[in-house]
C-alpha cells in the first residue's frame, strides 16, 4: 500500500501504470483506490449517527432501570471522557487513527460500567426508608462503598494497557495511549462528574430538599435509624456526636458512682452484721460469766 498526498484519479492511475510497467505487472494484479475528503466525511457522518443512537439507547436503558436523570448524567460523563481523550491527543499532537476510534468506543464501555456501578449503589440506598441524612450524604456514602471496587477495576485494566504502551508496536501503542487516558478519565468522571451532578440535581426534588433544609448542607456520615446515636444530622452532626460522647461519659460516671455506693453500702452492711455478731457474742459471754 502506497500513501500519498491528495491527487486526482487521473494522476493516481498514471502513477499506478508506471509502477506496474516497471515491475512487469498485469493490469489485473493491482487496484487503485482513492480515499479523499468525501470518504472521510462519510465515515464521520456514520460514526456520529452510531454514537447518537448508542447515547439514546443508553439513556433509555438507564431510565428504565433506574431513572432518566441518571441516564443523562451518565451520558454527560461519557462526553467528558471523549473530550478529555481528544484534548490530550491534540495536546501531544498525535494523529487520530482507526485504532484511536476503536479505543474511544472501548473507553465508553469502561466509563459507563463504572458510572452504572455507582448509580446502582445510590439507587439501592435511596430505597432505604430509615435514612436520616441529606441526599449528598447518601451519595457520598455510596461512593465510599464502591470506591475500592472502582479503583481495583481500573488498575486491573490499566496494567495490561500500560504493558502494551511500553512494549507494544506502533499500532498497539496508538490504541494503548488512548485507552490509558480514557481509563483514567472514565474513573474520574464516574466519581467526580456524574455522581456530584446527579446529586445536585436530585437534591432539588421536594423530598430531598426538605431533608436538605432539615439536616443542613454539609456532608456527614450516612447511617440508618437502627443506630440513632450515630445517625447523621447534617450541619449539627458534629455537635450531636460531641453530645453523645458527653452523655456516654456522664453515664459512665453515674454507673461508677452507683457501683461505688453499692459496694460501700454492701461493705457497711457486712461490717454492721459482723459488729452485731460481736455484740451478741459479748452479750452471751457476759451472761455466762454472771
**Span 88-99, pLDDT tens digits:** 998 988 888 778
Q: Is the pLDDT of residue 197 over 90?
A: yes
More confident residue, 260 or 104: 104
What pLDDT score was predicted for residue 30? 66
What pLDDT score was predicted for residue 129? 65
More confident residue, 8 or 97: 97
pLDDT category of residue 127 using cuts at 50, 70 and 90:
confident
Number of other CB atoms surrounding residue 117 within 10 Å:
17
pLDDT category of residue 159 using cuts at 50, 70 and 90:
very high
Distance CA 161, CA 155 (A): 10
Range with the poorest average pLDDT among 73-77, 182-186, 275-279, 280-284? 280-284
Q: What is the CATH number of domain 51-214?
A: 1.20.1640.10
**Span 15-35, pLDDT tens digits:** 777 777 777 777 666 666 666
What pLDDT score was predicted for residue 226? 41
What pLDDT score was predicted for residue 155? 92
pLDDT category of residue 2 using cuts at 50, 70 and 90:
low
Q: Is the pLDDT of residue 278 over 50?
A: no
More confident residue, 30 or 272: 30
Q: Is the pLDDT of residue 11 over 80?
A: no
CA angle (192 as vertex; 51, 144 as ends), nearest 5? 120
Distance CA 186, CA 178 (A): 12
What pLDDT score was predicted for residue 88? 93
In 3D, which of 197, 148, 173, 180 has the Cα closest to residue 81?
180
- Could you give the 3-state DSSP secondary structure of residue 131? strand
Range with the poorest average pLDDT among 24-28, 204-208, 233-237, 259-263? 233-237
Distance CA 89, CA 52 (A): 22
Mean pLDDT of the chain: 74
| Residue boundaries of the structural domains of the chain | 51-214
- Name every residue whose Cβ is closer than 8 Å to that of residue 98 and which is 6 or more positions away in sequence: none
Helices marked H in the chain: 9-22, 37-65, 68-92, 98-126, 135-167, 170-189, 195-202, 206-215, 237-289
Distance CA 113, CA 109 (A): 6
| Percentage of the chain modeled with pLDDT above 90 | 22
Beta-bridge partner residues of 224: 131
Q: Is the pLDDT of residue 79 over 80?
A: yes
Range with the poorest average pLDDT among 24-28, 58-62, 232-236? 232-236
Task: Give the mean model confidence (pLDDT) for residues 232-259.
Answer: 46
Amino acid at each position: 500500500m502506497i500513501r500519498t498526498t491528495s491527487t486526482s484519479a487521473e494522476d493516481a492511475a498514471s502513477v499506478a501504470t508506471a509502477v506496474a510497467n516497471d515491475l512487469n505487472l498485469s493490469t489485473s494484479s493491482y487496484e487503485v483506490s482513492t480515499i479523499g475528503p468525501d470518504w472521510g466525511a462519510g465515515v464521520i457522518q456514520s460514526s456520529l449517527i452510531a454514537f447518537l443512537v448508542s447515547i439514546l439507547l443508553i439513556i433509555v436503558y438507564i431510565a428504565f432501570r433506574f431513572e432518566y436523570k441518571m441516564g443523562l448524567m451518565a451520558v454527560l460523563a461519557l462526553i467528558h471522557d471523549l473530550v478529555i481523550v481528544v484534548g490530550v491527543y491534540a495536546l501531544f499532537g498525535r494523529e487520530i487513527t482507526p485504532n484511536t476510534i476503536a479505543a474511544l468506543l472501548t473507553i465508553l464501555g469502561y466509563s459507563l460500567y463504572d458510572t452504572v456501578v455507582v448509580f446502582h449503589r445510590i439507587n439501592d440506598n435511596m430505597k432505604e426508608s430509615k435514612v436520616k441524612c441529606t441526599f449528598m450524604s447518601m451519595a457520598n456514602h455510596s461512593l465510599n462503598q464502591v470506591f475500592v471496587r472502582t479503583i481495583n477495576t481500573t488498575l486491573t485494566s490499566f496494567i495490561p494497557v500500560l504493558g502494551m504502551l511500553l512494549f507494544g508496536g506502533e499500532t498497539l501503542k496508538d490504541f494503548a495511549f488512548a485507552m490509558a487516558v480514557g481509563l483514567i478519565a472514565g474513573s474520574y468522571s464516574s466519581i467526580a462528574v456524574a455522581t456530584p451532578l446527579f446529586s445536585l440535581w436530585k437534591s432539588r426534588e421536594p423530598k430531598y430538599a426538605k431533608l436538605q433544609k432539615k439536616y443542613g448542607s454539609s456532608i456527614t456520615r450516612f447511617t440508618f435509624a437502627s443506630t440513632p446515636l450515630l445517625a447523621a444530622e447534617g450541619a449539627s452532626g458534629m455537635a450531636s456526636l460531641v453530645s453523645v460522647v458527653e452523655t456516654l461519659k456522664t453515664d459512665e460516671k453515674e454507673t461508677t458512682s452507683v457501683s461505688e455506693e453499692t459496694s460501700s453500702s454492701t461493705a457497711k452492711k457486712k461490717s454492721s452484721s459482723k459488729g452485731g455478731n460481736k455484740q451478741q457474742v459479748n452479750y452471751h459471754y457476759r451472761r455466762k460469766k454472771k
